[in-house]
Amino acid sequence: MIGLKKRGDYAMVSPLVFWIVAGVTILAALAVVNLTNLIHSALWLVVAFIGVAITYLILEAEFLAAVQVIVYAGAIAILIVFGVMLTRRGDIRESNLFNNYRIFGGLVSLGLLATIVTMVTKTQWAISGAVVPANQVGLLAQNLLGQFVVPFEIAAVLLLVALVGAIIIAKEVRD
């Protein structure tokens, strides 16, 4: 599908698809937070990640959609499920409860949501009518290895350091 499509195809399908995908993503995110079984939360998290990937597709960012599916829905979700399995204790059906900040946190996040929505709707954005370039992956590669090569290399070093650090922390160095 990605190989065959013409630019502008997404603009035609987007309204209904956007509403469905947005609804599913938000419901999945609510399920992640509100379910009491941590495994179910982790699986709903995968649904939310895939919903975000489809949102990227609607936004014509195909490469990011693929990265999202591979990194988030694949690697990070599996990592989280492993984390749940390795730290299981007591009844799994009661493994994801709220702490004492439930009401306070709900009020703060509702206030934050109201603030952001007000700001977003009041701002006038300088929408550009330009078309999305056809060869996005090529442009991404040129930018990543040209203008943004230093952040790119630093990100690589960060990943290496973080993974070595994670192994050392998880292995628990004994002396």
The Cα 50–Cα 68 span in angstroms is 8
Beta carbons of 36 and 95 less than 8 angstroms apart: yes
Among 1, 127, 134, 150, binds other proteins (CB under 8 A): 127
Rounded least distance, CB 153 to other proteins, Å: 11
The Cα 13–Cα 92 span in angstroms is 41
Rounded least distance, CB 9 to other proteins, Å: 14
What are 53's two structure tokens?
Answer: 């990937």
User: Which of 3/87 has CB closer to other proteins?
Assistant: 87
Rounded least distance, CB 167 to other proteins, Å: 7
Binding flags for other proteins, 8-27, as an x/- string (CB under 8 A)? ------xx--x---x--xx-
Burial class (CB in 10 A: 0-12, 13-18, 19+), 84: middle
The Cα 71–Cα 81 span in angstroms is 14
18 C-beta neighbours (distance < 10 Å), count: 15
What are 3's two structure tokens?
Answer: 């190989």
User: Which of 9/98 has CB closer to other proteins?
Assistant: 98
28 C-beta neighbours (distance < 10 Å), count: 19
Q: Which of residues 58-117 bind other proteins (CB under 8 A)?
A: 58-61, 63-64, 67-68, 71-72, 75-76, 79-80, 82-84, 86-87, 89, 95-102, 104-106, 108-110, 112-113, 116-117
Rounded least distance, CB 1 to other proteins, Å: 19
Among 29, 66, 69, 92, binds other proteins (CB under 8 A): 29
Q: Which of residues 132-161 bind other proteins (CB under 8 A)?
A: 132-133, 136, 139-140, 143-144, 148, 151, 155, 158-159, 161
Beta carbons of 86 and 53 less than 8 angstroms apart: no
Among 33, 66, 69, 92, binds other proteins (CB under 8 A): 33
